[in-house]
Amino acid sequence: MTRVCMLHRVLPNQPTAFGRPSCYRLRGTSLTPAEFERLLDSEPVRSLEDVVEAVMEGAPPPPGQVLTFDDGYCEWIHHVVPALEARRVFATFLVCPAFVQERAAQPHPVDLFYWLLDHARRPRFELRLSDGTLTHGSLETDAGKLALITGDLKRRIAHGPPGEQREFLRLLAHALDVEPPADLVRTLYPTEAELRALASVGHRLGAHGTSHRHLTKMEAREAASEISASLSWIARLSDARPAPFAYPDGDFDSATEQQVQAAGATCALTCIPGTVTREAPLFRLPREFITPSHPGVL
Ligand SMILES: [Zn+2]
């Protein structure tokens, strides 16, 4: 059995504001270092290239797990890569410029939203959005915090018009009585030089769009240029090696699938759970979201 694992962050599980777990932890996008070690122990680690090569030849892919990391976070450099190197295994990092220091003028709205909730100095808020909707939330229970990061508000922050996102985050910071630090981008995201160094020691870089917006919500021409610009950026960081692509938030349709193939990616990764077989469609590869409760971690 071959599975492709989708990971994001590896962070110690420290309580945040009002004793609640961090937003990443509640959302399932962060493993602790010990959980990550257990995942590494659970199955042999394979490279995405070997799996793709086998599928292209119609052969069964090598059994084990492929490790992929999405977006771009500092601890990849300082914790994840040393843990991989200690075991002489390699991973694929699917990076988006919206999560890279030199390219991101501001933190991604979701990272900023999470930072505000994790550092809040008031446990409750009530806000009126620009369209008149009254919204409220509470950080007094895990369920209350989880509702904030999985509900409609989170969707508006992740995918709403940029002006509305920034305005809401400004109001929320005020309501929660916190001021995000000026160097948040630097504390969250890696630099291009660090990513280039990952590629130079044998890890692979892959593309993940340039803005992390959903490709199926864009005009066809805009989606095509987002896909090709992200692949060219990755090619510059990794000495023009052919690169895989991961659909931002797993959002794709048959048109985007064809666009990614036409742009020269080696394969495309979805968020559809399942294992990779010899018949797997290369531009719709299944990928398992590895949360702290995934069997490979438990
Ligand atoms: Zn992503």
Q: What is the CATH number of the domain that holds 203?
A: 3.20.20.370
Instruction: Give the distance (Å) from ligand 1 centre to CA of residue 251.
Output: 10
Provide the residues around ligand 1 (an ion) whose CB is within 5 A.
70-71
Instruction: Give the distance (Å) from ligand 1 centre to CA of residue 24.
Output: 13
Is residue 55 located within the same domain as residue 6?
Answer: yes
Is residue 241 located within the same domain as residue 195?
Answer: yes
In the block, tokens 């590869």 appear at 285
Q: For residue 24, is it within any domain? A: no
Instruction: Give the distance (Å) from ligand 1 centre to CA of residue 284.
Output: 16
Say if residue 175's pLDDT is above 90. yes
Supply 36's token pair: 């990550």
Kindly report the average pLDDT of the chain as a whole number: 96
| Residue 132 confidence (pLDDT) | 84
Supply 89's token pair: 């295994």
Is residue 14 located within the same domain as residue 100?
Answer: yes
Model pTM score? 0.96
Is residue 132 located within the same domain as residue 263?
Answer: no
Q: What is the pLDDT of residues 2-17, one digit of tens each?
A: 999 999 999 999 999 9
Instruction: Give the distance (Å) from ligand 1 centre to CA of residue 208.
Output: 7
Q: What is the mean pLDDT of residues 39-67?
A: 97
Instruction: Give the distance (Å) from ligand 1 centre to CA of residue 70.
Output: 5
Instruction: Give the distance (Å) from ligand 1 centre to CA of residue 247.
Output: 8
Is residue 156 located within the same domain as residue 283?
Answer: no
Q: What is the mean pLDDT of residues 55-78?
A: 97
Is residue 237 located within the same domain as residue 124?
Answer: no
Q: What is the mean pLDDT of residues 242-256?
A: 97
| Domain boundaries, position 47 | 2-18+29-104+189-289
Q: For residue 62, is it within any domain? A: yes
| Residue 52 confidence (pLDDT) | 98
Is residue 13 located within the same domain as residue 73?
Answer: yes
Instruction: Give the distance (Å) from ligand 1 centre to CA of residue 188.
Output: 14
Q: What is the pLDDT of residues 74-113, one digit of tens each?
A: 999 999 999 999 999 999 999 999 999 999 989 999 999 9
Say if residue 152's pLDDT is above 90. no
Supply 55's token pair: 């599928």
Say if residue 160's pLDDT is above 90. no
Q: What is the mean pLDDT of residues 169-175?
A: 95
Q: What is the mean pLDDT of residues 211-234?
A: 96
Number of structural domains found in the chain: 2
| Residue 289 confidence (pLDDT) | 97
Q: pLDDT above 90 covers what percent of the chain?
A: 90
Is residue 195 located within the same domain as residue 90?
Answer: yes
What is d(CA 56, CA 67) in angstroms, rounded to the nearest whole number? 20
Instruction: Give the distance (Å) from ligand 1 centre to CA of residue 212.
Output: 6
Q: How far apart are the first and last CA of the chain?
A: 18
Instruction: Give the distance (Å) from ligand 1 centre to CA of residue 128.
Output: 29
Q: Which long-range contacts (CB under 8 A, 24 or more apart) does 8-15 make?
A: 8/69, 8/70, 8/71, 8/73, 9/73, 9/75, 10/36, 10/75, 10/76, 10/79, 10/80, 10/83, 11/75
Q: What is the pLDDT of residues 130-147, one digit of tens each?
A: 778 889 999 999 999 999
Say if residue 249's pLDDT is above 80. yes
Q: What is the pLDDT of residues 250-296, one digit of tens each?
A: 999 999 999 999 999 999 999 999 999 999 999 999 999 999 999 98
Last residue of a domain, one of 119, 148, 176: 176
Is residue 274 located within the same domain as residue 195?
Answer: yes
Is residue 66 located within the same domain as residue 136?
Answer: no
CA 115 to chain centre: 16
Q: What is the mean pLDDT of residues 201-213?
A: 96
